[in-house]
Amino acid sequence: MVRSGDTIAEFDRQYMLLRLDDYKAGVDQQALNMRSMLANLEVTRKAHEQSIKSAQADVEKAKLDLKTVPVRSAMDSERFRLALEEAEARLKQLMTEVPYVDASEKAQVRISEMDLQESKLGLRQAQQNADRMVVKSPLQGLAVMMQIWRGGDVGQVQEGDPIYPGRPFMQIVDTRSMVVDAKVNQVDVERMRVGAKATVRFDAFPDLVLPAKVYSVAAMPSSTNSARASYLKEIPVRLKLEKMDPRVIPDLSVSVDVVVEESEAAAIVPLGSVFQDPPSANRYVFVKAGDGWARREVSLGPANNLRVVVKSGLKAGEVVAEEPPPVPASQKPRV
């Protein structure tokens, strides 16, 4: 018995786990790189801001020096004027670079974030791939091992066996609600209806009889067994047990009786004991009367391949002939 979420099988995922470790290391390294880049960008931005402040100070100094022109020589005055122009040009250039520096910083941060996100997506995908190699039970129930082909032999899966895609090797069965997978001859399936009542008998427990209902009827026949003729088609039918028993486990062989029609019956007789002379005449039986047999007309109801329901004309307990009784000598025509 397993619970929902229990690990029931694990595929060899050593390669997946190694890749997962590589992706984890890659994500950690990418995160460190991003922090280092942010720190470098912060240093670069502070240096640029400091350069702007230094250029502003140079401009202010050049302006102050220019105020001393009246007491300076012509050469010094020209040098101060040129120094002011140079300081103002440098400040203007630095101020022009501010939006480009900001855009460059944002672009580098965005690229680093995208690289980190890509690494995390790769890590998540690797984690999902590794998790898919571990099979967990989807529900609470009974774990049933199935037969698989194992190197020339049939048996249950063992550790180290390869499992090919699409090949089932285990079932989890909810023992609180079980179904019967059956097959019905194509001739009889026309009378099968979803919801029809049925009784299930178990070969392993002859005294166990459980009620069931037809759950589904397939639209196409199942593949024909090679041991049978190809024209013998069978339709898969699934029935749901309406009552459970502790003895019922998966893969038991059963027989099922499905009620396709119900009717009140005065009696049930063998199908061969009902006669009809012309095809359009009434049906009749021969009933035991003393030392002989009496012909009696009957009204019939549902029938199967062996028995038929008699609605009227016959009482329960009366004896009927399974074949026409011999005609007495007194009633035989004379020649």
User: For the whole model, what pTM was predicted?
Assistant: 0.51
pLDDT in tens, the chain (335 residues): 899 999 989 998 888 889 889 989 989 988 888 888 888 888 888 888 888 888 888 888 878 877 777 767 777 777 877 887 888 888 888 888 888 888 888 888 888 888 888 888 989 998 998 888 899 999 888 898 888 888 778 888 888 888 888 888 998 888 888 899 999 988 888 888 999 999 999 999 999 999 999 999 998 887 665 566 567 788 999 999 999 998 898 889 999 999 888 877 778 899 989 998 877 678 899 999 888 888 899 998 888 778 888 988 888 889 999 988 886 655 555 55
Q: At which residue do the structure tokens 């699934």 appear? A: 238
CA angle 145, 149, 155 (to 5 degrees): 45
Q: What is the pLDDT of residue 329?
A: 55
Return the closest-CA partner of residue 115 out of 21, 18, 22, 32: 32
Are the C-beta atoms of residues 312 and 299 closer than 8 Å to each other?
A: yes
Q: Which two tokens stand for residue 184?
A: 């019905």
Angle separating helix axes 74-132 and 14-66, nearest 10 degrees: 170
Q: Which two tokens stand for residue 10?
A: 């694990």
Question: Which CATH class name applies to 267-331?
Answer: mainly beta
Question: What's the farthest any 2 CA atoms get from each other in the chain?
Answer: 175
From the CB of residue 186, how many other CB atoms can be counted at a distance below 10 Å? 13
Domain ranges of the chain: 13-133, 178-258, 267-331
CATH code of the domain occupying 178-258:
2.40.30.170
Query: For residue 29, what is the enclosing H or E element?
Result: helix 14-66
Instruction: Report the C-alpha gap between 209 and 117 in whole angstroms.
Output: 62
Q: What is the pLDDT of residue 330?
A: 57
**Cβ partners under 8 Å of residue 22, min gap 6:** none
Instruction: Report the C-alpha gap between 143 and 214 in whole angstroms.
Output: 25
Paired residues of 7 in beta bridges: 136
Q: Which two tokens stand for residue 285?
A: 């039986």
List strand residue ranges (DSSP E) for the chain, in order.
7-10, 134-136, 142-145, 147-150, 153-156, 170-173, 179-185, 197-202, 209-217, 234-241, 254-258, 267-270, 284-289, 292-297, 299-303, 307-312
For the four alpha carbons of 213, 219, 223 and 225, in that order, the dihedral sign comes to positive
